[in-house]
Structure 1
Amino acid sequence: MDDPKPLPQLPATRAAKVVAVILMVFLFAGLCFNIRFAATTASLLPHALTRAGLLDGAVSKELAGRMADTPVAADAARMQRALGWLTVGDLGPRVRQGCPGWLFLRDELNVYADGERHLAERAATVAAVQRELARHGIALVVAVVPDKSRIEAQHLCGLYRPASLGARLSDWTTRLAAEGVPVVDLASALRSVPGDAFFRTDTHWTQDGAGAAAQALAQHIRAMREPLGSGVSSQPGYRVAGKPAARRPGDLVRLAGLDALPVSWQPRAEIVAGRDYLHVAQAAASADDLFGDADLPAIAVIGTSYSTTSDFVPQLALALGKGVGNFAREGGKFGGSARAYFTSAAYAQTPPKLIVWELDERDLQAPLEAEDDVVVPKSGAVGTVASR
C-alpha cells in the first residue's frame, strides 16, 4: 500500500493572517492576565482553611468574593460598564437616566417590602431621641431632604417613579408631628429655586438648592417656642468668596463606573461657578473669653452627605446668625452620624442647645440596619448645657 501523499500547502490568505494575529494577541493578553492574577493569589486564599469551611462552602464563597476584588476582575467590570454605556447607554444597577444629561439614583425609586413598617419604626426612634434630648435641655428639629426624582420630576422623561412613593414624605412628617417632634419638609423650598435645585449628574443639591433649604430651616428654627438666646453663640465667622466656573464631576457618574473613561465619553459634566465659605476665627470678645467659650456653636447638625456638600451648614449659619457645628457623615444614612455624635467627646463635653437632624427621604422606608438603633446617653449632658 502506497504511503499517503501530503496535502498540498496552500498559500495563506489575508484573512487567515488577520485571524492568526488576533489569536496571538488574545493569547498574549490571556498570559498577561494570568500572570497578574497569579501575583495576587497569596492574598486571595482564605487565611484559615478548615474541613468544615470547605464542606459548607464558606471557603469558596470567601474566595469568590476576593476574586471579585482583584485588579483583573475590577478591570473587566470597568470595561463592561464602559462598553454598556457606549453601546446601549446602560448605567448599571444603581443609576438611571431620565432626560438627556439627567441621572438619578435607583435607590430613590425602590419600593421596599414592609416599607411602611420601617418608616414607622424610624419615626418612633426619632421621637424617643427627641424626648431624651428634651430631658437634657436640648431641642431637636428634623429636616427631611426630598428625593431628587421628586423635586426634578420634570426631568424624568419617562423614567418611572412608583406612585406609592408619593405619600412617603407626608407620612413621615405626619407621624413626627403627632409625636410632637418639630419637622421641616424642604420640598417647597427646593421647588422655589429659580434654577436647578439638584445637580444633573449628582445626587446632591446645588449651592442654590442648599441655600434655599438653609433659609427655610432657619426660618423654622427662629419660629420655635424656645428660640436660641442671643448671647449663646457669636456670629458665624465666614468670608464668602466667588469661585471661577469649573467642571464638577458627578457622583452618579462614579457610581455608574464611568469616571475612568475619557471626559468626552462620559455623561456631560456640569460647569459650576460656586462660592467659597471661608471660616474666619473669631477674636475673644472679653478677658473672660480667652479660651473661646463664647464662640462654641450652640447648634449641631447631624445627618448625611447633604449636610457636607454645597456649603449647606455655612449657609445655615449665616441665615441664623449663629455658629453651627457640622457632625454629619457621608454615607451616614438614617442613624450613622447620630450614633457617632451621641457617643463622641464633642457631645459629652460641649453639648449644643439645638440639634438639627437632616435625613434623606430615600432612607426612610429602606430595610432597617444596626446603625438605625440610635440611643441618647442618659447622663453627662444636663449640667454642661445648663452652664453654657
Structure 2
Amino acid sequence: MSTPPVSAPATPAAPSALARRASRWAGLVLAVVLAAGLLGCGWLVYASKIEWLPASWTRDDALHGELTHRIAKQLSNAWLPEQAARLERAGSWLLLHDTGPRVRSGCPGWLFLTEELQVHRDAQANAQAKLQAVIALRQKLAQRDIALLVAVVPDKSRIAAAQLCGLSRPAQLETRATQWVAGLQQAGVRTIDLAPTLAPLGASAWLRTDTHWNETGAQAAAAVIAAQVRAAGLQPTPAQAYQAQPGPLARRPGDLVHLAGLDWLPLRWQPQPEEVAATEFKEVAAAGPAPTAPAEATKGGDDLDDLLGDQQLPNVALIGTSFSRNSNFVGFLQQALGARIGSFAKDGGKFSGSANEYFSNPAFTQTPPKLVVWEIPERDLQTPYEAIRLGR
C-alpha cells in the first residue's frame, strides 16, 4: 500500500491593513494598561503601604501560599486593579447574577457569606487551640475574681437554612458549634450556644443582605444572655432602666452587598435593599427612692473611688465582633440586664482581635470588671488561631 503524499501546509493569509492598524492600537492599549498597573503597584510599595510579612507567621503559612496571598491582596488595592475589579463585579452581577467569591446568592433577595460554608484547613486543630485558649483565659480571669461567659452566635446559613435555595452547607459543619460549646462546658466554662434560641425564629432573626442578625435575633440573644448572668448570681451595676421606642423606617445597607463589590452601583441595580426601623433606647429614672450615698463618701467629699468615678463604671464588659455592634444588641442587653455595660466589641475582630485589645486596655488593667461576656461567631471557631494576650 502506498503512502499518500503529505501536502505542504498552506501559507497563512497576510493580515489585512485594518487588522495591522488594529493590532498596533491593541498593543499600545495593553502596554498602557500594564504600565499603569505597574506604576500603581510601585506607588503602594514606595509609600510603604505594603506589609511584606505579618507580625506572626508559620512555615505552614509560607508553604501553602498564605504569605504571597496577603501581598497579592494588598497589591490589588492599587487604583487600576481596584477599578478593574469593580467593573468586573458589576458586569458579572448584571449579566450573570454572580455575587463573586466572598458572597453567595440564596433564595431571591437573600445573600450569604461564603466563609460560613467553607471547611477550613486544620479545622479541628484550630478549634481545639481556641478551646484551650478560652479555658486558660477563664482560669486567669478567675484568679482575679473575674467571671467569664461565652456566647456562640450560630451561622446565618444554619438558622436561615430555608433561604439557601440550592446552596450547599457541608455536613462537616453541622456539629462544629455544639462540640466546641460542649468542650467548654465540660471544662467548667459558662457557655451559651445561641442556636437553640434563634432556631425557632429562623430567617426572621437575620438580615437578608447582611451577615448579621436583625433586631429580632439580637433581642432574643440578649434576653438569654441576661438570664445566664442572673443565674450566675451577679448583680450588674450601675443599675439603669431603659425605654425602647421604634425609630422610623430607613434603608439599611447590607455588608454582603459591599463584600460582593456592588454597593457603588445605582441602588436600582443592587440586590434588593431592605428597610429597618432601628430601635432607639433612652435612659429613664428607675422607680423607687434614689439611693443614698454612703456615710464615708459624705464626710468631706473626698472618697477617691467616687472622685475617679469608679463606682459608676460598669462591672460587665462585652467583647466580641460586629454581631455585638449591630442591630442594637448592646441596647437590648443593657435593657435586659437593667444596667449599663462596657462595650469593647470590634468590627472584623474575629476570635482574638477584640479580646487582645480589651485585655491590654486600661479599662481592663486599671478598672477590671466582675464579668466578661465574650460573643464569638460560629464561623470563627475553626479559622487559624491568633494567640490571646492577657494584660497585667
Partner Cα separation in structure 2 for residue 203 and residue 115 of structure 1: 21
User: Which of 255, 258, 274 is 1:254 aligned to?
Assistant: 258
Work out whether 1:269 is the aligned partner of 2:299: no
Change beyond 3 A, Cα 1:239–1:31: farther
* Alpha-carbon offset, residue 137 of structure 1: 0.3
In 2: Cα distance, 1:168 partner to 1:62 partner? 27
Pairs within 5 Å for 1:167-206: 167-193=175-201, 196-206=204-214
How far has the Cα of 1:198 moved from its partner? 0.8
Structural mapping, 1:1-388, within 5 Å: 40=40, 43-44=43-44, 46=46, 68-193=76-201, 196-224=204-232, 227-229=233-235, 233-236=237-240, 238-278=242-282, 286=293, 288=297, 289=306, 291-368=308-385, 372-377=386-391, 379=392
Does the aligned pair in 1 maintain the 2:131–2:184 contact within 8 Å? yes
Cα distance in structure 2, aligned partners of 1:356 and 1:265: 40
Distance 1:373 1:85, change over 3 A: same
Give 1:278 shift.
4.6
Partner of 1:56: none
Secondary structure of the equivalent of 1:273?
A: strand
SS at match of 1:69: coil
Compute the displacement of 1:274 (Å): 1.7
Question: What amino acid is the match of 1:275?
Answer: T
Q: CA deviation at 1:164?
A: 1.1
Tell whether the 8 Å contact from 1:295 to 1:323 is kept in structure 2 after alignment. Answer: no
| Cα pair distance change 1:233/1:68, threshold 3 Å | closer
Matched letter for residue 376 of structure 1 = L
Matched positions, count: 341
- Aligned residue type for 1:43: W
- Alignment partners' CA distance in 2, 1:122 and 1:62: 23
Task: Tell me the alpha carbon deviations over residues 42-74 of structure 1, each in whole angstroms, 9 at most, x when there is no partner.
Answer: 6256579xxxxxxxxxxx999977753222221
Q: CA 1:240/1:29 → structure 2, altered by over 3 Å: closer, same or farther?
A: farther
Residues 245 and 272, structure 1, Cα contact 8 Å, conserved in 2: yes
Over 3 Å counting, the alpha-carbon distance change for 1:257 and 1:23 in structure 2 is farther
- Secondary structure, aligned partner of 2:204: coil
The one-letter amino acid of 1:223's match is A
1:66-108 CA-to-partner distances (Å, cap 9, x unmatched) read: 7532222211110000100111111111100111111000100
Following TM superposition, by how much is the alpha carbon of 1:192 offset from its aligned partner in structure 2, in angstroms? Answer: 3.3
Shift of 1:117: 1.6
After superposition, the Cα gap between the structure-2 partners of 1:243 and 1:171, relative to the gap in structure 1 and judged at 3 Å, is same
Matches of 1:308 and 1:85, distance apart in 2: 29
Q: In 2, Cα distance between the equivalents of 1:347 and 1:125? A: 19
Q: CA deviation at 1:136?
A: 0.5
CA drift of 1:292 comes to 3.6
Change (3 A) 1:262 1:228: same
Structure 1: unaligned runs, 5 residues or longer: 1-15, 49-59, 380-388
Task: Evaluate the alpha carbon distance shift between residue 165 and residue 365 of structure 1 in structure 2; reply closer, same or farther with a 3 A threshold.
Answer: same
- Say if 2:163 and 2:203, in contact at 8 Å, map to a contact too: no
Q: Say which SS state the counterpart of residue 244 (structure 1) adopts.
A: strand
Paired residue secondary structure (1:193): helix
**Larger displacement relative to structure 2 (233-242 or 121-130):** 233-242
Give the aligned residue type for 2:261: G
The DSSP-based 3-state class of the residue aligned with 2:175 is helix
Distance 2:25 2:377 in 1: 50
The verdict on how the C-alpha distance between 1:81 and 1:62 changes in structure 2, with shifts beyond 3 A counting, is closer
Q: Distance in 2 between matches of 1:178 and 1:41?
A: 51
User: Please, what TM-score do these two structures have when normalized by structure 2?
Assistant: 0.78
Q: Is the 8 A contact 1:45 1:63 kept in 2?
A: no
Q: Is the 8 A contact 1:85 1:91 kept in 2?
A: yes
Alpha-carbon distance between aligned partners in 2 of 1:62 and 1:167, rounded to the nearest angstrom: 30
Distance, in Å, in 1 between the alignment partners of 2:244 and 2:275 is: 20
SS for the counterpart of 2:205 is coil
What is the CA distance between 1:221 and its match in structure 2? Answer: 1.4
Please say if residues 123 and 176 of structure 1, whose CA atoms lie closer than 8 Å, have aligned partners that are also in contact. Answer: yes
**Worse-matched range after superposition: 186-195 or 133-142:** 186-195
Amino acid at match of 2:387: D
Alignment CA distance shift 1:375-1:281 (3 Å): farther
CA contact (8 A) 1:143 1:359 kept: yes
Counterpart of 1:8 in structure 2 is: none
Distance (Å, rounded) in 1 between the aligned partners of 2:181 and 2:71: 46
